[in-house]
Amino acid sequence: MVFNRHQIMEQLWDGGYFGEAHSTVVHIQHIREKIEPDPKKPHYILTVRSTGYKFAEDVVEPPYDS
């Protein structure tokens, strides 16, 4: 399931969000920095171009550098 920026912010702020849609991009970036091994090549939160974001359906753990 794909969620657009507005849907994400509405859910996070319980329907009371009236800010910029771009702030969603920044929040997603910060989340990726925390959970992704390489935020520039995400495995968990994927961008659907011109639509929004989705969670990966079949997540395969990426190799970690030891």
pLDDT tens digits, residue range 11-65? Answer: 877 766 666 767 888 889 999 999 999 999 999 999 999 899 999 877 666 566 6
pTM reported for the whole predicted model = 0.71
Instruction: Reduce the DSSP state of residue 3 to 3 states and report it.
Output: strand
List, in order of start, the domains of the chain with CATH numbers: 5-55 (1.10.10.10)
d(CA 24, CA 9): 7
Q: Is the per-residue pLDDT at 8 higher than 80? A: yes
- Model pLDDT, residue 57: 79
Q: Which two tokens stand for residue 37?
A: 């091994």
